[in-house]
Amino acid sequence: MRDALEALEFGRIRQAVAERASTLWGQEAALLLMPKESLEAARSQQDTIAEAIAHPYRLGGIRDFSESLGAARAGKRLSGLELLEAATSLDSAAELKRGLLDSGEKLGALAANIGEHTLFRRRVGECLNEAGELKDSASPRLREIRRQLAPLREQIHERLYSIMDRQAGAIQERFITIRRDRFVIPVKASMQNQVPGIVLDQSDTGLTVFLEPAQVVPLNNKLYSLKLEEEAEVNRILLELSALLAQDLEIDNTLWAITQLDLARAAASLAEDWTLCKPELTENSTYQLENARHPLIQDCVANSLKLDAEHRLLLLTGPNMGGKTALLKTLGLAVLMAQCGLYVPASKAELSFPDKLYVDIGDEQSIQENLSTFAAHLLRLKEILQEAGANSLVLIDELGTGTDPEEGASLSQAFIERLLEKGVKGLISTHLSPLKAFAQEQAGVQNASMQFDVEKLRPLYKLSIGLPGKSYALSIAKRLGFPADVISRAGEVLGPQGGQVERLLAGLEAAREQLANERAKTTEARERAEAFEKDLRTRLSALEKERERVMAQAQEQAAALIEQAGERLRSLRERAKSEGQGKALEELAQLRSKYRKKARPQNPSPHFEAGALVKVAEYGKEARVLELRGEAALVQMGKVKMSLPLTSLEPLAKTKEASPGFTREKTDFDTELNLRGQMVEDALLELDHFLDEAVATGAGEVRLLHGKGTGALRNAIRSFLAKDRRVASFSDAVPYQGGHGVTVVTLRV
């Protein structure tokens, strides 16, 4: 694996991740990136990066205190600044933890490993100020020592200034300084005997001595003693804080979590900066990349490729410097990055998780142990044949080179056949023409080439699947002005077989161009069809919305009409009681005609004569025309006379004798009234209206549905019927038609 990492320059990927890390721990982890041991581990890391992209976070304020931690664990005393740096970093880590616990499953799980380190952080805050110096309140003993130090210094200063004022002639300058941790004054060397005391130092010129007057020696002694006690107490407190850091059992988990979070954030930044995609890692031994790019080549041309059970090996051919090696590295780096849990440089990627990745690219790994390039190359191929399996991926550059072309081609073909037997997948580049013909016929191998512009003598770096590539050696030589006779002789040496291969490739390229043009036309036609379909869908959607709007409006209007009609019907029922049924039924028929005429086609008014028998459509009954009144007619229906529009009347096939009691036809009037669940008062009011209309329309018998229940509604209805003159008799329905739950009423006609 290490050889593969070096051959594919994976170290540059590591460096790119490290440059985006915020901590030294994250940088070190990035520089040590290795493929995960399992597919699940790689997927887990990808999910963590996905959450880091969705929930950006910073690791500001966290510094590397590993060296300080190591010293503390070795029993050493840390300085105040070192302790303050560790505590500040742990404060920032705790803040990071609070911000990430609810940001996602993976990030939350990592953040949960960050400890609180409450005791250490609290004690550092109590003992150290922002400059890393111990506060007076760090301990009672330190407070007491420093309480004595301040007035003692003032006392020494006062005494020294008093001495200098009294011995002004002997004093070189009126100031107090420190020598050997003791307060002294500058005295002229020639007059030092005038000031009793101890000389602790002198100036470079020897003209000044720094003298500790005898009067302040006891005070300096006391001051020095207190400073020794202060130093001892400071050392004790710093050792205590260092021990708290060293003994904190959560530190290692915290540092690990910070490292992983920093690594995930750095990988997320790389994915954003390089426009990488999250690959789908599978176990189906498929390698598919869409618009894949070599991440380390600027403005790299994107290519798509696929290796699966049908096409396990892709044989790359074409001119030198055409991009074959770059394509091999593109796939190799994508697989390595995916195995490390990183995103990959493609618009879409489905990658298997190979058990081993074999790479044979370049001379830097070919010359080993004083072997020739070809011998080292063979040893590498031997290793692949012995170890590679169905879940392995091989990337081989320039297969069969370094020896006789014929023998190299035969050995390479046998090598490829063995890879096919073992189910290995991979990319192989070569210049050997026999292998192109072999790949064209062999199942499991697919020819591919890198396109080249012969006119401009430049590679296009574009992959073409299904067609072998030409070396273009003679064409390039001719284009570069090689002598014509030399090129002609080269063609003769190449022989007819070589010419056939070149012509075959030229024909294939022409066919490819034709197919590409046809494909472009098909694509254009499909795009036009898709655009047309999209436009139709948009219009259909608009029509559907308009239909819904119209339907909603119609429903509102219908509801209003129903309410209006209901009010009108209730009014007519009241009028029928006071003015007679004839006028009320006439208006009722007109009302029904008004609301039904839109539901049926409008026919011209029929012609009737007085005395003609007609059918009243609104009631489904026969009536006799008594008088014509323009577009209306006065008709008699049973005992009721009413004026109705001619359009509401239908002629009968034959005329009957005028008689007020002509034969009745079956009416459209619903002779069944459902009163179940109603209050007694409401039910009786509706029953009263129902009987009016039943009698008016000549219904001989009606059914009242009241249900059994407690019997209250049934008893109230029957009491009402017993007193009503319109009722001839009433009784229960037969058992199979409702029994006690239904009352059958016979009306007087």
What is the fold of 600-668?
A: SH3 type barrels. (2.30.30)
pLDDT in tens, 454-503: 677 778 888 888 878 776 676 777 767 788 888 777 777 766 555 555 55
pLDDT of res. 367: 40
How many Cα atoms occupy the beta-carbon half-sphere of 19 within 13 Å? 8
Nearest-angstrom CA–CA distance, 272 and 279: 14
How many Cα atoms occupy the beta-carbon half-sphere of 563 within 13 Å? 6
Nearest-angstrom CA–CA distance, 554 and 546: 12
Nearest-angstrom CA–CA distance, 726 and 691: 8
**Is 599 buried (19+), middle (13-18) or exposed (0-12) by CB count in 10 A?**
exposed
Amino acid symbol at 412? S
In this predicted structure, the answer to whether residue 365 has a pLDDT above a threshold of 50 is: no
Percent of the chain residues topping a pLDDT of 90: 52
Percent of the chain residues topping a pLDDT of 70: 86
Nearest-angstrom CA–CA distance, 678 and 690: 15
Average pLDDT of the residues in 637-658: 69
pLDDT of res. 569: 63
Higher per-residue confidence, 221 vs 667: 221
Nearest-angstrom CA–CA distance, 689 and 588: 13
Nearest-angstrom CA–CA distance, 503 and 135: 90
- Rg (C-alpha) for the chain, rounded Å, is 53
Kindly provide the b/e burial profile for residues 78-110, where b requires at least 16 CB atoms within 10 angstroms of the residue's own CB: bebebbbbbbbbbbbbbebbeebeebbebbeeb
Pairing assessment for the beta strands 313-317 and 425-429 based on DSSP bridges: parallel
pLDDT of res. 453: 78
pLDDT in tens, 65-75: 999 999 999 99
pLDDT in tens, 174-212: 999 999 989 999 999 989 999 999 999 999 899 999 999
Amino acid symbol at 179? R
pLDDT of res. 371: 57
pLDDT in tens, 699-740: 789 999 988 888 889 999 999 999 998 899 999 988 888 888
Strand partners, 198: 212
DSSP letter at 79?
A: P
Give the model's confidence band at 582: pLDDT under 50 very low, under 70 low, under 90 confident, else very high: low
Nearest-angstrom CA–CA distance, 549 and 560: 17
Q: In what helix (H) or strand (E) does residue 447 lie, and over which residues does it extend?
A: strand 445-453
pLDDT of res. 574: 67
Region of poorest pLDDT, from 33-37, 413-417, 732-736: 732-736
Mean pLDDT in the chain? 85
> Is the Cβ–Cβ distance between 317 and 251 less than 8 Å?
no
- Please spell the DSSP secondary structure of 195-215, one letter per residue: S-EEEEEE-TTSSEEEEEEGG
Nearest-angstrom CA–CA distance, 417 and 33: 35
Superfamily of domain 280-482: P-loop containing nucleotide triphosphate hydrolases (3.40.50.300)
* pTM of the predicted model as reported, rounded to 2 decimal places: 0.62
Q: In what helix (H) or strand (E) does residue 348 lie, and over which residues does it extend?
A: strand 348-352
pLDDT of res. 327: 94
In this predicted structure, the answer to whether residue 592 has a pLDDT above a threshold of 90 is: no
CATH number for the region 2-117+248-274 comes to 1.10.1420
Please, where are the H alpha helices in 55-104?
A: 66-73, 80-100
From 278, 276, 335, 284, select the one nearest 305 (Cα to Cα). 335
What is the fold of 669-749?
A: Ribosomal Protein S8; Chain: A, domain 1 (3.30.1370)
